[in-house]
Homo-oligomer: A and B are copies of this chain.
Amino acid sequence: MKKLINSVEDVVKEELEGVAAAHSDLVKVHFVPNYVFRSDAPVSGKTAIVSGGGSGHEPMHGGFVGLGMLDAACPGEVFTSPTPDQILEATKAVDGGAGVLHLVKNYTGDILNFEMAADLARAEGIEVEAVVINDDVAVQDSLYTAGRRGVGTTVLAEKICGAAAEARRPLKEVAEICRRVNANGRSMGMALTSCTVPAAGKPTFELGEQEMEIGIGIHGEPGRERRALATADEIVEMLARPIVDDLPYRRGDSVLAFVNSMGGTPLIELYIVYRALTRLLDGVGVKIERNLIGPYITSLEMAGCSITLLKLDDELTRLWDAPVNTPGLRWGI
């Protein structure tokens, strides 16, 4: 295992110390329990938004704390959901009296820990709404299973809901907007390589020189199927076609196209993927109104990419364009 770390036990703690040192103008970090929060929190009268999940997805979530996005993020161990006490403390720290939205990705661990935390917070008189993101078309949805994973749409939901909260929209409306983003967002990802959980010390799975995994999540797990390595254009077809057919996205729709690196894939390749995506969407008559290209929701150093489409309406577009100032995403200010 080759990583720029000191010890596998200290990875999350030291990363958070780095974040605290680097971005003291935007965020503060509380240790034990660990959470990153807006340096001006609680913002009184504003709906607060708390997200969280395992570490290893940076900049998500900690890098999205700040004006116009999250009020707090709870980082668990690498790929391990945070604990209820982390989430509870973060929720109490940022509640500005207008209630707190828990923005949760659909993983059993995240769901259960956020549920426990929400119960505890409500017991302390804090109004909490939870919205679950489940946008991964690689997973067949069903009433009898854990359902779809929450992946790329999470980043877009955090930005858009953050803007709504910044505009002083009440908790119920922010939650409603979050459900709308989830309903209109779909994603799918692939891996060229596995990644190594520091504490595990070796790659989660092995991939041959001529193999790739299609339909992966964001925890270094194998995907829906293993396939022979293909060209960028073919891979975009494998990812974007199921996305387009799933919602479905129709001729005339306007979308936000998000091309994401899993961590180890550089920008030069992402632009080749984006080029292929523009051609595929041209073919089906879907217009890209906005885009986001880069490593925003990652699996440690995994090489690969994911594609997310979000069907836009005027309100979602306005909220996307609104100013944001976080370590990981910034514009308009």
Contact = CB atoms under 8 A, between A and B. Distances in A.
Given A300-B266, A301-B266, A271 B330 contact: no
B269 A5 contact: yes
A2 B192 contact: yes
A22 B288 CA distance: 9
Contact of A272 (B11, B63, B270, B331): B11
Nearest to A327: B293
A232 B5 contact: yes
Contacts of A63: 267
Interface residues of A, number: 57
Nearest to A231: B6
Contact of A295 (B58, B267, B305, B332): B267
A209 interface: yes
A193 interface: yes
Copy total for this chain = 2
A272 B58 contact: no
B278 A21 contact: yes
Contacts of A193: 2
Interface stretch (A12-20, A80-88, A107-115, A165-173): A12-20
A89 interface: no
A270 B192 contact: no
A4 B192 contact: yes
Nearest to A299: B266
Contacts of A298: 266-267
Nearest to A262: B266
A161 B275 CA distance: 31
Contacts of A304: 4
Interface string A205-249: 000010010000000000000000101110100000000000000
A291 to B, nearest CB: 5
Given A2-B212, A15-B268, A18-B272, 10 more contacts: A3-B192, A4-B304, A55-B268, A58-B268, A263-B264, A263-B266, A264-B266, A267-B295, A269-B301, A330-B330
